[in-house]
Amino acid sequence: MLSNLEVVYTSWTTLHLIDDWDTFYNTVEKKRDPSHFRAWKKSEWVQMVERAGFTVERVQRFTKTFLFTDWCDRLDVPNETRKELTDLLLASPDDHKQKFNIITKRDELQSFAGESILLHAVKN
């Protein structure tokens, strides 16, 4: 019984961290692009696809790296907002820096990473 409790505890801890990471990532995206609604979680994509009458056969997760300057340039992000984004990413907790692979060079933000999925589904 104790091992089941540990598994449940570990699962809830992991879910909490994922939710925290989800909030952090969407905060960063929204600051860069005010029209950003939110980045859907993998589980939400699967649910939406299945509700649309498809069967998900495969989901492959992969890392998507964002070169910070290029990422900001694509939306012509103002310098003040770039500074706010830099401060937010660099001041994030160590577990966030690890999760999002936040890379700096000489105290300058170079890149960070998110997760994307490739989803294969067939119509029912």
Q: Give the domain CATH number at 29.
A: 3.40.50.150
What span, in angstroms and rounded, lies between the C-alpha atoms of 109 and 87?
Answer: 9
pLDDT top residue among 83 and 13: 83
Give me the number of domains the chain comprises: 1
Q: Residue 71: is its pLDDT beyond 80?
A: yes
pLDDT above 90 for 78:
yes
Q: Comparing 8-17, 31-40, 66-75, which segment has the lowest mean pLDDT?
A: 8-17
For residue 88, give its domain range: 2-123
Integer Cα distance of 110 and 51 in angstroms: 39
Q: Are 36 and 114 in contact (CB under 8 A)?
A: no
